[in-house]
Structure 1
Amino acid sequence: MPLATLKTNPLFSRKLSFCVVLDNELPDYLLVSDIAVEPKVDKAGEASGKVINYMGAGLPVVCFEGKNNRRFLGEGGIYAVDDKVENLAAQMIWAVENPDGAKRLGELNRKRVEEVFSWNNSIKTTVEAFEKLTAK
């Protein structure tokens, strides 16, 4: 489905918003969101910092298949293949039409961010690295 058609789809007509959100406003938006979409393709060569925020909010994340998204999301992503916008749109529709499945993935994402990417977990890795450096 072309993106232009997606916005007029009855599933999204009142719920789809494309906007720039300031960092300090992000929690308010995430709180009222049902899904998150990360449209960056892996060829961009960088991971998106937004994905961690989406995961921390317990949202299912629709994104393109790629090593960066897989590294962050693991089994919690709703992956579109071949970097095609039509495939991304199809996965967005799946997430809206399958709220229970999407919610389960969002819960996986929240758990993963707490267990793998939280500050508490990151500080352990940082301390271990400094301990190795100072032991030499």
Structure 2
Amino acid sequence: MSTPTPTPASADAEIRDLLGRLTEAWNAGDADAYGELFTEDADYVTFFGLRLTGRPAVVEAHRALFEGPLKGSRLTGDPAGRDGADIRRVRPDVAVVIFTGSVTGADAPPDPARDSIVTLVAVHDDAWRFTAFQNTRRTSP
């Protein structure tokens, strides 16, 4: 049985919900919940240029981060907010999502010098999930 294609308004709301869950999972340090937001065959390119292929790789890399150097870190910005992300659907079931955010230490205030631009590709099968992720340090135009 195929899943119905989402309408444009419902697609945007569902993608923003997906972004909200991405932030929540990061801020909770929950690698499993974070990984569930990605397709089984996701491509994930970190800020440092490391390419992770597949959901298990995304989960394990984030588990190591959340238990190690990024323990207690926070994803700042509001990618799920009304003006927090640009969503451009290239097909009814595929969208490019771009947002600006930053990762801060557990007790550190947001630092604009650490802002990144994140580009994701969201796909809809049985639900919206991310199939590609690219994180790049933000620079001024």
State the TM-score, normalizing by the size of structure 2. Answer: 0.26
Going by fraction, where is strand more abundant, 1 or 2?
2
Going by fraction, where is helix more abundant, 1 or 2?
1
**Structure of larger gyration radius:** 1
State the TM-score, normalizing by the size of structure 1. Answer: 0.27
